[in-house]
Structure 1
């Protein structure tokens, strides 16, 4: 994808620059043998000194404390884009709208606290622009239990048919659209697949299709091209909601990128996910899990909105999220004396045997992988060609 290539080249360039500067710092350290660290000494006024340059370099790295917001900003890719005057007006209108209700931004971003670090990591792992991690701000106000009057549900607001097509299990006990882990994987799969299938990697067009459907966007592209226009998102005539979709994302990302400029306060959110994943092979109620883990049941309910009746059934879902401060010893108690059946998920197994009813999306979500990763390792061209009994390789090793 064009976006990925550009981003990878940028990362390579930055990495090379950092490496050179670090080597420079190493040489300077050996030559001058300073006896105290840079943070405790004011910079020298000799601007010709290479040690001053190194000091400033390391000081600059330490300026911003690492949290979920700083991690997200690092992965932003759209902030320096040169938009047309008309597109800029559309974005600025939404910046003004969000700024007019800072209390709403505070509420929504606070609601994002359990999920933002995890989503950012998943977006980064795919080399997608960090702005994609803010789609739930637009879709659901970062409420994983949100339901629309049209039937969409979850953080990413999947309609039932779309969720079914992406392999999100939905029954009376469990709704994968409300499960943040599986729905996030499905949403990113969907965005990437549509970008690759229809739009030669053009993510704004894929996001428009995420909102309005590929058929609507494809017709708009053809109409624009018939009028001699480029067919890019900003040139299209689309349903009003879709016309506002990408400008909204640009706007909220601009505010997150520079909250001081817009007089907005963002809540403190840890740089790492605040939950651990526990794989279960047996049914368990959240009430019982609460007792075994010595964790409030309300905390487990909040982390597992996809469990509709307060219990996990491995036939529908195998992963239970628990607060990250829960000890491994407590987690082992979930197995009622068999610690091996409930373990914190740290890595995927090497292989998996496809069972009846499996699809690529659910297998990927179950093992914290992407569909594209599994397809690449197993030379799968179409996700719908899996067969019961098929042995899949899940690891490069």
Structure 2
């Protein structure tokens, strides 16, 4: 947030207190004075609205936000001065509005209040961004209140969970924070799918954090894919898989969230709503979990006769998911300050063709540590990071990304720089010396014999004019993949249609997995 909007205005808390000491006691006032008081209060309402709108502009990186915010504060100061001079005007009422707006500014800038020594409860800073992000978040946020959410009573908190929390807070802390940031950018499309199935949001976050760290295009060696890591066969059972365009909907956040909610509810119905067994089924196979639950008479997952029948991976998976969910609900208890993410959904209609790589460069990193490439890829899983997206295409984004796009990516120095970096050709950096500039030594045989031959020759034969260079041979219609190549980069280099190139070589979106040394047929290419 610009410094001018954070700088202290003349109305310090001390001055505000002194103003209150000069407020006269309320007495009956004339109708004329009442009209003037009403007009002053209306001016304060307008200034308050102007200030709130300015905070939105600042959050969206709009340069008008700072000046609008300062102007709104000046309006409020003028209003308070007018109130002091007006009979019957209660300055305390206007100062309450002023104080509320200052708190709103502090919340928006991410400033933290000091510890009050009270009992540790759900972090209010954790709840606040959710309320601002999605229309139904007021209802959803209730699940994050320590006094109301049901998740704590649905799982057993024990040393295994504590060990998982310890891991998330030490060597896996970066993964936890990255998972949270990725989830918040996807929350508007994922959480409603779980909410309508009455499943805890914390559990959704815990599974996603453990499975993929919130990376839409995550894939495993055994074939699991997407945010929620569905295997192909399980995905097909719940409506996931290649669609008519060849895109695998396991990589679609909304579809993956819906399928995972259906799967968890199916498992919990058969396991007496036991989250630990349902998670064990998610990781280690539903048949195994159902059998163990049945054979042990529904004993706790943590009972040795049940626990020891699961493989080591599942024994690790269950407490780690619950631990991530627990921290999601109790961040303040563990000294976790989740990043404040402005993730209000928005769309961008591209003013010119571009790539996600190019957008990542021109957007910069305002409001985020790592930039916006992961958010763009997660919100637009059908596009390769280096694949060209045509002008006029509408892509998914957030209001912050949309504001930065309009400011930096449509035109201007940063847009030009991003295009230059994206179109830079590595091959152009390799210098190939010509024969005329060659300065090395070459063996030519017996120098004396050559001189004798020159003496015998009466006249030097005329030198024929050099022939014009033959046109370069047309590029081969195949290409050998080099280390670091991507299909999008190859398509750009040879002016290929990416879908046609992928089909010709049996490559599936969105991974388009290539191996060094692989020969590609250059079908649908202009070069």
Q: What secondary structure sits across from 2:350 in the alignment?
A: helix
2:324 equivalent to 1:264:
no
2:174 equivalent to 1:103:
yes
- Mapped to 1, the partners of 2:292 and 2:158 lie a distance apart of 21
The count of residues paired between Structure 1 and Structure 2 equals 252
- Mapped to 2, the partners of 1:295 and 1:37 lie a distance apart of 50
Q: Point out where structure 2 has 5 or more consecutive residues left out of the alignment.
A: 1-89, 100-120, 132-139, 360-372, 407-527
With structure 2 as the length reference, what TM-score do the two structures score? 0.41
2:350 alignment counterpart? 290
Q: Which of 266, 283, 288 is 1:193 aligned to?
A: 266
2:141 equivalent to 1:68:
no
Give the CA deviation at 1:322.
1.4
2:150 equivalent to 1:90:
no
The structure-2 alpha-carbon separation of the partners of 1:320 and 1:264, relative to structure 1 and needing over 3 Å to count, comes to same
Alignment of 1:252-331 (within 5 A): 252-270=324-342, 273-275=344-346, 290-291=350-351, 298=359, 301-307=377-383, 322-325=396-399
Greater mean deviation of Cα atoms: 95-104 or 289-298: 289-298
- Mapped to 2, the partners of 1:132 and 1:293 lie a distance apart of 39
Give the CA deviation at 1:151.
0.8
1:7 alignment counterpart? none
The structure-2 alpha-carbon separation of the partners of 1:155 and 1:273, relative to structure 1 and needing over 3 Å to count, comes to farther
Q: What secondary structure sits across from 1:108 in the alignment?
A: helix
1:51 alignment counterpart? none
- Mapped to 2, the partners of 1:182 and 1:207 lie a distance apart of 19
Q: What secondary structure sits across from 1:323 in the alignment?
A: strand
The structure-2 alpha-carbon separation of the partners of 1:82 and 1:159, relative to structure 1 and needing over 3 Å to count, comes to closer
2:195 equivalent to 1:124:
yes
Is 1:212–1:242's contact at 8 Å kept on the other side of the alignment?
A: yes
- Mapped to 1, the partners of 2:222 and 2:214 lie a distance apart of 18
The structure-2 alpha-carbon separation of the partners of 1:77 and 1:149, relative to structure 1 and needing over 3 Å to count, comes to same
Is 1:144–1:178's contact at 8 Å kept on the other side of the alignment?
A: yes
Give the number of the structure with larger relative contact order, counting CA–CA contacts within 8 Å between residues 6 or more apart: 1
2:300 alignment counterpart? 232
- Mapped to 2, the partners of 1:61 and 1:220 lie a distance apart of 35
Give the CA deviation at 1:92.
0.6
- Mapped to 1, the partners of 2:123 and 2:96 lie a distance apart of 9
Is 1:91–1:251's contact at 8 Å kept on the other side of the alignment?
A: yes
Q: Deviations over 1:244-263 (max 9, x none)?
A: 33311221122222323322
Q: Point out where structure 1 has 5 or more consecutive residues left out of the alignment.
A: 1-33, 43-59, 279-288, 313-318, 331-397
Q: Which of 303, 315, 319 is 1:243 aligned to?
A: 315
- Mapped to 1, the partners of 2:377 and 2:180 lie a distance apart of 20
Is 1:78–1:250's contact at 8 Å kept on the other side of the alignment?
A: no
The structure-2 alpha-carbon separation of the partners of 1:252 and 1:182, relative to structure 1 and needing over 3 Å to count, comes to same
The structure-2 alpha-carbon separation of the partners of 1:39 and 1:247, relative to structure 1 and needing over 3 Å to count, comes to farther
- Note the aligned Cα RMSD (angstroms): 4.0
- Mapped to 1, the partners of 2:218 and 2:396 lie a distance apart of 21
2:222 equivalent to 1:158:
no
Give the CA deviation at 1:147.
0.5
The structure-2 alpha-carbon separation of the partners of 1:37 and 1:193, relative to structure 1 and needing over 3 Å to count, comes to farther
Give the CA deviation at 1:183.
1.1
Greater mean deviation of Cα atoms: 261-270 or 177-186: 261-270
1:184 alignment counterpart? 257
2:10 alignment counterpart? none
The structure-2 alpha-carbon separation of the partners of 1:193 and 1:264, relative to structure 1 and needing over 3 Å to count, comes to same
Q: Deviations over 1:260-318 (max 9, x none)?
A: 33222211124x65345x9xxxxxxxxxx634799967565442214569699xxxxxx
Greater Cα radius of gyration, structure 1 or 2 = 2
